[in-house]
């Protein structure tokens, strides 16, 4: 029952942008196209889970904050950070380019098929809720998100050693992610 409620809530959440587009009001996006004009109450404490129209600006801001911390706590690694972040951005653009459109679509189809199969197994009682979530997320443990939170806590606590440790962990994560993307594009 909880899964059905979750799926229903997810369906409603996903359909809201469609209802918003029915108003017909659009504004130019950062790439010169048209984007929906949806009001956003970012400062009222709501979490949007990446649903901002200009997520690229938000990611650039996050990168800039990281580089500021790198300057402050590990200045010797600034060049390495800059290189890794530039490579990450280039790989992301390449993956979403027309050159890899077929592979990207195939990857999305395989991921969706896997999720549907896992949901079917869960509905049949072959998987527990914990097993279901572990298999849905694959090998990802989302350790990098914990590292981001640990980094923020260390900065707030002014714990230089912990900040340096978390920055090094994030750098390692970005390097692994870049390598994974390169391998995905070789297939």
Determine how many CB atoms are found less than 10 A away from the CB of residue 41: 8
Instruction: Locate the domains of the chain by residue range.
Output: 62-68+79-187
Asked whether 162 and 154 are in contact (CB, 8 A), the reply is yes
**Assessment of whether the complete model's pTM goes beyond 0.75:** no
pLDDT tens, position by position, 122-177: 899 888 888 887 777 665 555 566 788 888 999 999 999 999 999 999 999 889 98
pLDDT tens, position by position, 6-59: 565 555 556 555 544 444 444 444 444 444 444 454 544 555 555 555 777 888
Q: Which of 31, 67, 38, 33 is nearest to 52 (CA)?
A: 38
Query: What does the DSSP 8-state code read for residue 74?
Result: -
């Amino acid at each position: 029952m909880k899964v059905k409620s979750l799926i229903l809530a997810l369906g409603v959440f996903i359909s809201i942008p469609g209802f918003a587009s029915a108003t017909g009001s659009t504004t130019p996006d950062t790439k010169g196209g048209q984007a929906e004009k949806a009001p956003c109450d970012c400062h009222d404490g709501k979490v949007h889970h990446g649903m901002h129209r200009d997520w690229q600006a938000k990611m650039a801001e996050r990168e800039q904050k990281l580089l500021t911390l790198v300057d402050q706590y590990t200045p010797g690694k600034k060049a390495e950070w800059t290189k890794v972040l530039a490579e990450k951005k280039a790989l992301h653009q390449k993956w979403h380019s027309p050159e890899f459109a077929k592979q990207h679509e195939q990857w999305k189809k395989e991921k969706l098929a896997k999720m549907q199969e896992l949901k079917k197994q869960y509905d049949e009682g072959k998987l527990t809720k914990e097993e279901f979530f572990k298999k849905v997320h694959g090998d990802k443990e989302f350790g990098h998100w914990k590292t981001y939170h640990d980094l923020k806590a260390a900065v707030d606590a002014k714990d230089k050693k912990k900040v340096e440790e978390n920055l090094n962990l994030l750098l390692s994560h970005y390097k692994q992610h870049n390598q994974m993307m390169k391998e995905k594009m070789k297939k």
